[in-house]
């Protein structure tokens, strides 16, 4: 009994590499060699295979091919909250940039849970990927597991660093927070800082940058604290915290700088519900950080700091490829890329503040 395949030509099908080899009349090792590295076969053989792929319904198992390939063409990506618009945008850009360079992205999500992050780390390790881009959970990340993975697999951390040593690409909070604090102080009442839940290192960095900027300006920092609230449902946490403040002691300032746009969404919703208003010349001014996709379309549109998602994605991917080349012993001409990159934010002035 032979392989049940159609003869080569329009409508021919092949479910395995063995069947594809039979259909086009080439040996299985030759076809396998092509899928491992198209440049490793003769030009005439390559042209024959690529012509056949246009008419024969065959898709190789890229994960199996990757396991045997010396130069891996799959990279991993782990994000902590797949519903977060920033991480969605980051994943889309990384996938597009990787695809342009001939790589496939295997995306996994930790969903805000350290146990799920640990399973994602184990999956990345088992897939024998070339490298991985990881946005860690932060304080609850499985740091020891990530460190162990970094000793075997090239890693670059994005958005939030794992520590001060590992390769990292993210926003320069020491530039972006002073940018918006100084604007809010110039244009009206100095801001109180509406905190983020303590789940990412970005929250702590932004809080510290706010304090340093206020003190440099000779002003007293003030805060709206979310207390022991945890988790990634930032909008709900901010909404509940703001409602409690509005029904009780109020806010320490009528200008509120939120640790991220998602916090601002919840704060604005609570203020609107209370009957007060948000915007320049109104009851409260509210500003955020990140420039989430819907920030320009809420009412009023949110003043915020834009993170450069396009550049963050490209710099992180290029740094990862450089680390993968180094791991494979591939020499790169020119100066070696810095292992840590902090990208400046851009102030976006809108109606909310």
My answer on whether 161 and 111 are in the same domain is yes
Identify the H or E element spanning 306: strand 304-306
Cα dist. 299→264, 273, 295 in Å? Answer: 12, 13, 9
Average pLDDT over residues 295-317: 96
Q: Is residue 248 part of a domain?
A: yes
Distance, CA of 287 to CA of 181 (rounded, Å): 9
pTM score, two decimals? 0.79
Taking 50 as the threshold, does the pLDDT of residue 3 lie above it? no
Q: Is residue 259 part of a domain?
A: yes
Q: Is residue 269 part of a domain?
A: yes
Domain boundary residue, one of 60, 89, 113: 60
My answer on whether 80 and 105 are in the same domain is yes
My answer on whether 186 and 253 are in the same domain is yes
Q: Is residue 251 part of a domain?
A: yes
My answer on whether 300 and 325 are in the same domain is no
Which band of pLDDT confidence, cut at 50, 70 and 90, is reported for residue 36? low
Which band of pLDDT confidence, cut at 50, 70 and 90, is reported for residue 332? low
My answer on whether 126 and 250 are in the same domain is no
My answer on whether 166 and 177 are in the same domain is no
DSSP state of 196: P
- 135 vs 23 pLDDT, higher one: 135
My answer on whether 166 and 179 are in the same domain is no
Q: 119-128, 157-166, 212-221: which has the highest mean pLDDT?
A: 212-221
79 by DSSP, 3-state: which? strand
User: Residue 194 corresponds to which tokens in the numbers above?
Assistant: 């509406």
% residues pLDDT > 70 (the chain):
90
My answer on whether 134 and 191 are in the same domain is no
My answer on whether 152 and 188 are in the same domain is no
Distance, CA of 192 to CA of 254 (rounded, Å): 8
Q: Is residue 244 part of a domain?
A: yes
Q: Is residue 132 part of a domain?
A: yes
Q: Which of 256, 187, 182, 184 minimizes the C-alpha distance to 213?
A: 182
Q: Cβ(142)–Cβ(121) under 8 Å? A: yes
Alpha helical stretches, state H, the chain: 17-24, 28-36, 43-53, 62-68, 85-100, 114-126, 143-152, 173-187, 201-216, 234-247, 261-274, 309-327
My answer on whether 106 and 129 are in the same domain is yes
Q: Is residue 7 part of a domain?
A: no
Which band of pLDDT confidence, cut at 50, 70 and 90, is reported for residue 267? very high
Q: Cβ(305)–Cβ(172) under 8 Å? A: no
Neighbours of 44 (CB within 10 A): 8
Q: List the Cα angle 112/113/116 in 5-degree steps.
A: 115
Domain boundary residue, one of 6, 25, 60: 60
- 239 vs 15 pLDDT, higher one: 239
Q: Which residue has the tokens 């392989």?
A: 3
Q: By CB neighbour count within 10 A (0-12 exposed, 13-18 middle, 19+ buried), where does 278 fall?
A: buried
**CATH code for the domain in which residue 220 is found:** 3.40.50.2300
- The range of the structural domain enclosing residue 137 comes to 72-170+310-342
Q: Is residue 5 part of a domain?
A: no
Average pLDDT over residues 275-294: 96
Kindly report, residue by residue over 54-68, the tens digit of the pLDDT: 788 766 655 555 544
**Overall number of domains in the chain:** 3
Distance, CA of 296 to CA of 152 (rounded, Å): 42
Q: By CB neighbour count within 10 A (0-12 exposed, 13-18 middle, 19+ buried), where does 351 fall?
A: middle
My answer on whether 337 and 280 are in the same domain is no
My answer on whether 185 and 295 are in the same domain is yes
Cis before 300? omega within 30: yes
Which band of pLDDT confidence, cut at 50, 70 and 90, is reported for residue 230? confident
């Amino acid at each position: 009994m032979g392989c049940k395949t159609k003869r080569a030509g329009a409508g021919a099908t092949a479910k395995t590499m063995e069947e594809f080899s039979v259909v086009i009349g080439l040996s299985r090792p030759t076809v396998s060699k092509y899928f491992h590295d198209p440049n490793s076969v003769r030009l005439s053989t390559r042209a024959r295979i690529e012509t056949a792929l246009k008419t024969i319904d065959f898709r190789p198992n890229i994960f199996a091919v990757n396991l045997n390939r010396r130069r891996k063409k799959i990279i991993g990506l782990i994000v902590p909250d797949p519903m977060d618009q920033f991480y969605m945008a980051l994943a889309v850009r990384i996938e597009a940039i990787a695809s342009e360079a001939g790589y496939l992205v295997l995306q996994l999500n930790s969903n805000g849970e350290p146990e799920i992050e640990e399973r994602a780390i184990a999956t990345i390790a088992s897939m024998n990927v070339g490298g991985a881009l990881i946005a860690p959970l932060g304080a609850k990340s499985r740091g020891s597991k990530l460190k162990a993975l970094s000793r075997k697999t090239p890693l670059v951390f994005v958005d939030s660093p794992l520590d001060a040593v590992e390769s990292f690409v993210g926003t320069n909070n020491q530039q972006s927070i002073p940018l918006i604090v100084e604007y809010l102080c110039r244009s009206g009442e100095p801001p109180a800082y509406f905190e983020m839940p303590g789940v990412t290192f970005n929250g702590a960095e932004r809080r510290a940058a706010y304090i340093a900027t206020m003190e440099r300006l000779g002003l007293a920092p003030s805060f709206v604290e979310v207390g022991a609230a945890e988790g990634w449902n930032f909008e709900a946490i901010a909404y509940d915290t703001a409602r409690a403040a509005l029904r009780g002691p109020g806010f320490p300032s009528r200008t509120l700088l939120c640790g991220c746009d998602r916090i601002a969404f919840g704060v604005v919703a609570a203020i609107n519900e209370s009957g007060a208003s948000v915007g320049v010349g109104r009851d409260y001014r509210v500003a955020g950080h990140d420039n989430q996709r819907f920030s320009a379309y809420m009412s009023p549109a949110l003043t915020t700091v834009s993170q450069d998602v396009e550049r963050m994605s490209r710099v992180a991917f290029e740094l990862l490829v450089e680390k993968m080349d180094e791991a494979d012993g591939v020499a790169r001409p020119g100066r070696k890329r810095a292992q840590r990159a902090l990208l400046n934010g851009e102030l976006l002035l809108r109606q909310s503040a």
